[in-house]
Structures are given as structure tokens and as C-alpha cells.
Amino acid sequence: MVFAASDLPEQSDPTVPPMVVPHPGPQRQVQSRDILQGEREVWIIHGQDMYRLRETKNGKLILQK
């Protein structure tokens, strides 16, 4: 989503950080089915940490450290 400067509200309080506008460039997208590959959960290694990505019975995704 791209915003024109005229679409943004005026920033009157100098103590509030400026608004962050989403970058208009394309973002890489990955399908959850490509990550899970038919499983209900997978373990993701990120640096020295491991995370569990799990699909619930309701089809929601939960990422836990």
C-alpha cells in the first residue's frame, strides 16, 4: 500500500516519532503449505535459536520460541 503525502495526517507533536510509511517495493511471499509440507509443525533455526511453527486445529499459525 502506498500513501501520498496529502493522505497522511499532520504531525503536530514534536515528541511523537514520525509516522512510518510502508515501503512500496515488492515483498517476498511464502505459502505456509510450502513451509509445513503437509506437517502440523516444523522447527525453524534462526541463528542460535530454535522456534516451533505450528498450525492449530482452526488453521491458525503459532510461532513459539
pLDDT for res 1: 47
Greater model confidence, 37 or 7: 37
Domain extents for the chain?
31-65
Give me the mean pLDDT over the 12-29 stretch.
Answer: 71
Determine whether domain 31-65 maps to CATH 3.40.50.620.
Answer: no
CB burial class (10 A; 0-12, 13-18, 19+) of residue 42?
middle
According to DSSP H, which parts of the chain are helical?
32-36
User: How confident is the model over 35-60, as pLDDT tens digits?
Assistant: 999 999 999 999 999 999 999 999 99
Q: What percent of the chain shows pLDDT beyond 90?
A: 54
